[in-house]
Amino acid sequence: MTLVKDPPGRVRARRLAAPPAFRRRDRRDTLAGYLFMSPWIAGFLLLTAGPMIASLYFAFTDYNLFNTPSWIGLDNFTQMFADPRWRKSVEVTAKYVVIGTPLKLLLALGVALLLARNGRGQGFYRAAFYAPSLIGASVTVGFVWRALFSDDAIVDRAQSLLGLHVGGWVGDPEWVLYSLAALTVWQFGAPMVIFLAGLKQVPRELYEAAAVDGAGPLRRFWSVTLPMISPVLFFNVLLETIHAFQIFGSAYVVSNATCGPADSALVYTCYLYQKGFKEAQMGFASAMAWMLLVAVALVTAVLFWSQKRWVHYEEAAR
Amino acid sequence: MSGLGTSGVIGTSGTSSASGASSASSASSTSSRRRAGVAWHLGAWVVLAVVLYPVVWVVGAAFKPSREIVGSLELFPVRPVLDNFRGLADGIADIPIATFFGNSLFYAAGSVVGVLVSASLTAYAFAKIRFAGRKLLFTLMIGTLLLPYHVLLIPQYVMFQKLELINTYVPLLIGKFLATEAFFVFLMVQFMRNLPGELDEAARLDGCGHLRTYWSVVLPLCRPALITSAIFTFINAWNDFMGPLIYLNEPGKYTVSLGMMMFRDQEGVANYGGMIAMALVALLPVLAFFLAFQRYLIDGMATSGLKG
């Protein structure tokens, strides 16, 4: 493998110089390489590849953890599509992804642009805005969120001042999902730090050139900033969307372990958890997991396909 | 998990060249510039106030009497009380609070050790050793980054159940020791690839084997990446909820996250203050860890800036 990569002339020269020793080192390297990554290989086979195949098999079986899995063909899938709660969970998750992710990314980009304009205190602001992303997944924040969005708490009072009387969000089937979306938006710090790093890489000359050409701030953002940070934008969109599909902990904790009221916070993984670990329908839950995988793979594929149109990599531009 | 994507940037974003993307090249008057500066800080502080409100709220609420916590709008109580913390001394369902913290600490520290050892060994192989099949394996490793964990959840549970490892920490820790946290492998590979190759080549020429090169040359140079990985692993494990929820079912083995959920189920509204107090105490290690290691992160940036 290594020989192929070198320029042909050099390879021949090296070979002439010391062929046996070199080849011995080559073989030793291969051995060392596999030894060094043996933990990962073991983990990949035992905890990733094996379970993936098993999960695909379970998806076509009736299995409750204690019986022998019995093959039932597509029954889990037909049952799933006919199940109103499953459809509800798809709807809730889709809504969560579609509302939460764009808002989070917009806020992240907006604040990153704001911070990039001024160097003073940037380190402090960056750390402070980032902190929620570190603690957002914790049960503590789930508790706090439930408190802040319950009846008579701050959010309720604030919206009453605006003449909106909807009460606390967490007890209201119409609103609980928005409190979850707010929770993910609150964690905008992670994508923001990535945007900020991307913004720092934009050469200043480009802005100066654009300004000389008479481009206003909006035009400069649209024609310079956005194309230059599009790889970072792509990365953030991809990662945040994939993560949003998999929301579990915050929905579970904020809804008091019910994923309700009335299934209004029944995100996909919450239903998967209930089916697999409360009702021991491992086959059905595996089928659900594979549907999630397919959905995530489709979204990923569409994003990768679309990046040709809007993501500009520097190498390609030059 | 969404915090993961960031660590690489924090760790490696280079020198803190504060020059922003702005281009205020036009010669405006100082007063309008000062006004813009004030407006900037004002904007930043408004965002900051909203973002930090929940954190400040939980600090204040922990010192309020239970019945005042939700309804009162004051951020801090007029007469702070310590009852909530005193109540914690009784523990939950006869289990001392310290047990939960000990369990969480064990889980988090174990995860850190596992990730540092297994991810750095794997990353060394990917970054510094050339061998057949490396590219294919690297692609597979990156692929696992995008794989939803839930596809693996049920078969893994079945496997650990058959092995009678439910209600132990093995299912939670084994993946950490087998480098399944692909993000950290990726982070370290990136870091090692950026190290000057002459150093480890010189070590190899001096007769160092790979193990020696890894241990004495590469690993010390990777300190910033190791610290970044350690911080994020610790915090992720400390916050982890789904793993312990699925694998631990005996209250004595619960982590802090599960302990808090049990607290809520058992005492609920009656001891709301105690619940919030415990939530605050659970939050403190994460915040302390983050604040303490900020400096290490900046050190890491400085050293990675030297390589030029």
Nearest to A253 by CA among B254, B300, B279: B279
pLDDT tens for residues A284-306? 999 999 999 999 999 999 999 99
Domain boundary assignment for chain B: 35-81, 97-306
User: Is cis: bond before A261, omega within 30 of 0?
Assistant: yes
**Domains of chain A: which residue ranges?**
2-73, 78-317
Residue-level pLDDT at B73: 72
* Inter-chain touch A208–B125, beta carbons under 8 Å: no
Q: Which residues contact A55 (CB under 8 A, 6 or more apart)?
A: A286, A289, A290, B151, B152, B154, B155
Q: Closest partner residue to B279 among A120, A140, A191, by Cβ?
A: A140
Q: What's the mean pLDDT when you consider all of chain A?
A: 87
- CA–CA gap between residue B234 and residue B287 (Å, rounded): 12
Six-digit token pair at B144? 């696992």
A78-317 in CATH: which number?
1.10.3720.10
pLDDT of A242 above 80: yes
- CA distance from start to end of chain B: 32
Reported CATH class of domain B97-306: mainly alpha
Would the pLDDT of A17 be above 60? no
Q: CA of A252, closest CA in chain B: separation in Å? A: 10
pLDDT at A217: 87
First to last CA, chain A: 30
8 Å CB contact between A113 and B21:
yes
pLDDT of residue B295: 59
B257 at A interface, C-beta within 8 A: yes
- Select from B6, B21, B179 the Cβ nearest to the Cβ of A225: B21
pLDDT value, residue B204: 82
Residues of B in contact with A206 (CB under 8 A): none
pLDDT at A23: 67
**B6 CA to centre of own chain:** 10
Residue ranges for chain B with pLDDT beneath 70:
1-29, 269, 294-308
Q: Cα distance from A313 to chain B (closest Cα, Å)?
A: 18
CA separation (Å) from A38 to A35, A42, B124? 5, 6, 12
pLDDT of residue B65: 87
Query: CA geometry: angle at B103 spanning B102 and B109, to 5°?
Result: 85
Query: B47: which chain A residues are within 8 Å (Cβ-Cβ)?
Result: 111, 114, 129
Look at A68-77, A233-242, B14-23 and tell me which has the smallest mean pLDDT.
Answer: B14-23
pLDDT, tens only, A83-137: 999 999 999 999 999 999 999 999 999 998 988 877 677 778 888 888 888 888 8
The reported pLDDT for the residue numbered B155 is 96
What does the alpha-carbon distance between residue A59 and residue A276 come to, in Å, rounded to a whole number? 12
Quick: pLDDT tens for A193-224. Answer: 888 888 888 888 888 899 899 888 889 999 99
Predicted local confidence at residue A20, as pLDDT: 57
pLDDT at B300: 40
Nearest one of A139, A264, A101, A233 to B2, comparing CA atoms: A101
A243 contacts on B by Cβ (under 8 Å): 1-2
Distance CA A306, CA B109 (A): 42
Confidence grade of residue A4 (pLDDT, cut at 50, 70, 90): very low
Is the minimum CB–CB distance between A202 and chain B shorter than 8 Å?
yes
Q: Write out pLDDT tens, residues A181-190.
A: 999 999 998 8
User: B6, A189: Cβ pair inside 8 Å?
Assistant: yes
% of chain A surpassing 70 pLDDT: 91
| pLDDT of amino acid B115 | 97
Q: Which residues of B touch A287 (CB under 8 A)?
A: none
* Nearest alpha-carbon partner for A137 in B244, B275, B3: B3
Is B137 an interface residue toward A (CB < 8 Å)? yes
Nearest Cβ partner for B154 among A145, A193, A289? A289
Q: Report, as an integer, the average pLDDT of A233-239.
A: 91
Across A24-50, average pLDDT = 91
The pLDDT of A254-266, averaged and rounded, is 90
Residue B74 burial (10 A CB sphere; 0-12, 13-18, 19+)? exposed
- pLDDT for the residue B297: 53
Question: Is the CB of residue A171 less than 8 Å from the CB of residue B304?
Answer: no
Number of helices and strands in chain A (H, E): 20, 2
Segment A147-176 shows an average pLDDT of: 84
- What does pTM read for this prediction? 0.86
- Residue A243's closest CA among B236, B145, B244? B145
